[in-house]
Structure 1
Amino acid sequence: ELLAWRRRVQMVFQDPFASLNARMSAADLIGEPWRTHRDVVPGAGAREKRIRELLDLVGLRAGDAHRYPNEFSGGQRQRIGIARALALDPDLVVCDEPVSALDLSVQAQVLNVLSDLRTRLGVTYVFISHDLSVVRHISDRVTVMYLGKVVEHGETDEVFETPRHPYTAALMSAAPVLHPGGGSRREEIQLRGEIPSPFDIPSGCRFRTRCPRAEERCASEAPPVAARGTADGGGPHTALCHFPLAAGSSWA
């Protein structure tokens, strides 16, 4: 049962250098999942055709199939990793910081490949990243975590424009924003104190030791899920906080 589930859920790893076996060609790397999931292995002729199709999907040439990882750039290696993840036609692909090890220009190319594949194949991504601009570009919904726990979840524009959890608001204020024409800037929020150890998590709200809005209740009670509807009638925008920020409210 677990093996069947794994076929439906694949992964693209953070490091395109370490995640590919240097002794295997691109064709062998892309076809590697078929060694485990033998019930979906295409025939000999179909296998080569499928590898060419996957290479084309991620923007590589059919002739690249016989090249080795050291012959590719970082962005090309990550494309091979994406092709390998798609070899089993999964429903879900977990992308663990898939562009953080790449140059900015290459990041944009790989993100465009991922966006195009999502549209063409109908695949769903769980996209893990610390880069807020990348998250906003690729995501339909955003989940914010602090010390291993979800603190806010909602549609991308709702979370970015009207964050409800103080930690999310602090994250958004830390992101650099270009203002070529002037205009208002997001209020800058500077958190004080050290991040608690995950081996000694604070009682009540995990964020209370760094939150200027914290009160005694935050130390004694775990925060409830505060939910509100979105402006366009979409899914709920939730935050785990005793005192969530209201839309348009200031930090204080």
Structure 2
Amino acid sequence: MTSTPLACESQDLSVVYRDEPVLRHVNFRVPTGSVMGIVGPNGAGKSTLIKAMLGLVKPLTGHATFFGQPFGDVRKRVGYMPQSASVDWDFPTTVIDLAVMGTYGELGWIRRPGKAERARAMAALEMTGMQDFASRQIGELSGGQRQRAFLARALVQAPDLYFMDEPFQGIDAKSQQAMIEVLKDLSAQGKTIVIVHHHLASVLDFCDHVTLLNKRIIASGPGPETFTKDNIRMAYEASDGAEAFLAEAG
């Protein structure tokens, strides 16, 4: 029996901030073509896991590979959508220019984006419902519009693997539905998506794999097998009587 190849994995990944452990020996595997949701309480290390794998945070131990290779060798195949709160929204750029930034990796430092790159950017904005805001300054956007604009930038890059850090946090229902439709389209194309998510009730709506994390891996695998109340209780360190909390998971 042939196992599904991995889009990415971390091995023995540990991260420490100011002498406090944030991740402890994390072995994290994402099958190619899956939509992997990373779920856990605040401070569980969900965003740190992504950043450490991508080299944005230096791990104390361990390493990550992507399609069996170091990140630097396959950088163009990996897209990253950061948390909205980590972005400088005062940076003077328009929505279309933000989307065009998704082409920079293939253009390099010398070539400048032209009509073809702007056409790709506009197509991505149409996919996310942001074409009418193309000339708008990013600082003028609502929370949901900002997230859709950054999703468009990732789409322009056209990676095989997407990392998305809390893309639904603080956005309106319209933006969330638009983004979910894009995720479904990407999944249908065989793309791999790793998404940090905090709303327990909707995890299985679009994630076919789930990783429950609380500084270490509590459970990871196919959604229905992994996203159980016992595993959720363990990840969130919830008491046996916390039924109201556990009910959110369905």
TM-score normalized by the length of structure 1: 0.58
Structure 2 residue 184 is matched with structure 1 residue 113? no
1:56 positional shift: 1.0
- Alignment partner, residue 154 of structure 1: 221
Question: 1:121/1:82 Cα in 2 relative to 1: closer, same or farther (>3 Å)?
Answer: farther
CA distance in 2, matches of 1:139, 1:26: 28
CA contact (8 A) 2:144 2:176 kept: no
Q: Which amino acid is the alignment partner of residue 167 of structure 1?
A: M
1:64 positional shift: 2.5
CA distance in 1, matches of 2:167, 2:180: 12
1:76 positional shift: 1.3
**Higher deviation after alignment, 29-38 or 83-92:** 29-38
Question: 1:37/1:162 Cα in 2 relative to 1: closer, same or farther (>3 Å)?
Answer: same
- Alignment partner, residue 89 of structure 1: 158
Q: Deviations over 1:50-87 (max 9, x none)?
A: 111111111222x4322111332221111110011122
**Higher deviation after alignment, 127-136 or 169-178:** 169-178
Q: Deviations over 1:198-251 (max 9, x none)?
A: xxxxxxxxxxxxxxxxxxxxxxxxxxxxxxxxxxxxxxxxxxxxxxxxxxxxxx
**Higher deviation after alignment, 85-94 or 159-168:** 159-168
The aligned runs of 1:231-242 (5 Å cut-off) are none
* Structure with the higher fraction of residues in strand conformation: 2
CA contact (8 A) 2:80 2:154 kept: yes
CA contact (8 A) 1:163 1:169 kept: no
CA contact (8 A) 2:81 2:165 kept: yes
Structure 2: which 5+ residue stretches go unaligned?
1-69
Counterpart of 2:122 (choices 46, 52, 59) is 52
- Alignment partner, residue 59 of structure 2: none
Equivalent pairs counted in the alignment come to 176
Alpha carbon RMSD of aligned pairs, Å?
Answer: 3.3
SS for the counterpart of 1:87 is helix
TM-score normalized by the length of structure 2: 0.59
CA contact (8 A) 1:23 1:68 kept: yes
Counterpart of 1:132 (choices 200, 224, 231) is 200
Q: Deviations over 1:184-205 (max 9, x none)?
A: xx9xxxxxxxxxxxxxxxxxxx
Question: 1:113/1:49 Cα in 2 relative to 1: closer, same or farther (>3 Å)?
Answer: same
- Alignment partner, residue 175 of structure 1: 246
CA contact (8 A) 1:111 1:138 kept: no
1:35 positional shift: 3.2
1:116 positional shift: 3.1
% identical aligned pairs: 25
Structure 2 residue 35 is matched with structure 1 residue 5? no
Structure 1: which 5+ residue stretches go unaligned?
179-185, 187-252
- Alignment partner, residue 135 of structure 2: 66
CA contact (8 A) 1:94 1:126 kept: yes
CA distance in 2, matches of 1:165, 1:79: 29
